Amino acid sequence: MTTYSAVVTTGIYCRPGCGARPLARNTRTYEHPAAAEAALAGRMGLSPRHLRRLFLRHLGATPDQLARSRRAHFARRLLDDTDLTVLDVAFASGFGSLRQFNRIMRETFRASPTDLRDRRHRADRLAADGGLALRLPHVPGYDWPAVLRLLAARAVPGVEEADGDTYRRTITVDGAPGVLEVSPGGDGFLLLRAHLPYWEGLIHVVGQVGRVLGADLDQAAGVAALSADPLLGPLVRGRPGLAVPGAWTALEAAVQAVVRRRRTPTEAATVLKALVTGAGTVVPGLRGGLTHTFPEPAALTPAALSHAGLADDEVSALTAPAALDPDASPDASPDASPDASPDASPDASPDASPDASTDTLSYDDDLRQDLAFRLGRRAAFPAGDPDLRAALACLGLDPATAADRWRPWQALAAAHLMAHGASADRVARQARA
């Protein structure tokens, strides 16, 4: 029987024979294309027809047209910036066949991929010193040094590092290791250098990098609103280009949230390093401090977590069925909707504040908020983060109620508070040294 594969993380479904290789855990199989469309639209509470109607009304294109355009423009970047073969460009951009690739490129650019490559300006090409170098566009005013400091403060030892003005990390692509490097580029873009085992699905890797760095999110409205706050305003005006950093996976976000909750930065780094070396995959021959990939879900057994130094309740938090779901609650049933509240919005995360009177590590609001923050929820406010709490203490604000004054930009406010708290902690440690 013919089957269609749908990718829940991108909202795209593929015909049989598609060459794309999404992660198996993000893929669902359907017997008919209509069923795939209905399932993807159903996650939003909409019918497929109404979803297409909304896209046409507000964006002037259907979801399928937008997906084709995204793949075509990404392919154009690869043709301009790299020496990948045309066939490699096609599969790296998510096309299912060379014939489909040629047809879509002609429809979009009125030229074949070969013609487009012949037109490129050789003086403007990126010189690759190993790996595949790509431009990673960012919004105007993006503050890479500020984002890099925030990433460095939460880097997982052996998996991530900040070296000078460059951020590096290991990743896993279909079970094989790879390395990504991001450094300053030119006006309006960062330079991404990817060292990957193969290029199929590169478009998804690049999109994920952009989400981790917050490079493609326009925070201008949030910056304007928060700059007027009498307490937070000076911090925001001092770093107006700071973006909210994301996480590579929900698993990494959950592990970091639990490990960092009760520990100093040094203690947390020690536990994370033990977890990575004990359960991660060794990647030999890498430069700097990169040594492993982050452990796969199957490797994070209760025994591995305990051996790395996590307490029993921390192990329980990470092995709970809802451990990677920021919308879950301790008593939610499997069929419960996260948007059951009458005033819930698509970007909203749960509004309940963490209970400061208890230190239980059941899957509580504190952990949910931390996960929501790292997964890009605009209204998330991880009040249990040590750097954020330190900044709130400096400002004389109560962590249980502070978030309300910054709605609906709680996540952006939290990022500025974390940056301030990490900076203050760094100054204090230098003074004690």
Does residue 114 sit in the same domain as residue 192?
no
* Residue 255 included in any domain: no
Does residue 45 sit in the same domain as residue 108?
yes
Q: How far apart are CA 350 and CA 390, in angstroms?
A: 23
CA dihedral sign, ordered 300, 305, 310, 314: positive
* Residue 318 included in any domain: no
3-state DSSP of 59-104: HCCCHHHHHHHHHHHHHHHHHHHCCCCHHHHHHHCCCCCHHHHHHH
Residue 233 has pLDDT above 80, yes or no: yes
- pLDDT tens-digit series, residues 5-52: 666 555 565 655 555 556 666 676 655 555 565 567 556 666 777 777
Domain hosting 433: range is 219-245+376-433
* Residue 416 included in any domain: yes
Task: Please report the pLDDT score of residue 45 as a whole number.
Answer: 64
Does residue 382 sit in the same domain as residue 241?
yes
Of 86, 106, 122, which closes a domain? 122
Q: How far apart are CA 133 and CA 131, in angstroms?
A: 6
Q: Which residue has the higher pLDDT, 296 or 342?
A: 296
Task: Please report the pLDDT score of residue 121 as a whole number.
Answer: 60
Does residue 74 sit in the same domain as residue 85?
yes
* Residue 15 included in any domain: yes
* Residue 8 included in any domain: yes
Does residue 76 sit in the same domain as residue 131?
no
Q: Which CATH number goes with the domain that contains 31? A: 1.10.10.60
Does residue 9 sit in the same domain as residue 118?
yes
Does residue 22 sit in the same domain as residue 110?
yes
Does residue 134 sit in the same domain as residue 204?
yes
What pairs with residue 30 in β-bridges? 4
- Poorest-pLDDT segment among 152-156, 177-181, 199-203, 307-311: 199-203
What mean pLDDT, rounded, does the chain reach?
81
Q: How far is CA 296 from CA 175, 210, 293, 330, 393, in A?
A: 9, 22, 8, 25, 37
* Residue 433 included in any domain: yes
Q: How far apart are CA 77 and CA 89, in angstroms?
A: 9
Of 218, 235, 266, which closes a domain? 218
Does residue 158 sit in the same domain as residue 237?
no
Q: Are 236 and 364 in contact (CB under 8 A)?
A: no
Q: How far apart are CA 275 and CA 289, in angstroms?
A: 15
Does residue 57 sit in the same domain as residue 37?
yes
Q: How far apart are CA 427 and CA 413, in angstroms?
A: 21
Q: Which CATH number goes with the domain that contains 210? A: 3.30.310.20
Q: How far apart are CA 277 and CA 60, in angstroms?
A: 49
Q: How far is CA 176 from CA 198, 273, 287, in A?
A: 9, 21, 18
Of 122, 143, 161, which closes a domain? 122
Give the predicted TM-score (pTM) of the model: 0.72
* φ/ψ of residue 298, rounded to 5: -65, -25
Q: Which residue has the higher pLDDT, 193 or 50?
A: 193
Number of domains in the chain: 3
* Residue 18 included in any domain: yes
Does residue 182 sit in the same domain as residue 35?
no
Q: What is the CA radius of gyration of the chain?
A: 22
* Residue 147 included in any domain: yes
Does residue 102 sit in the same domain as residue 16?
yes
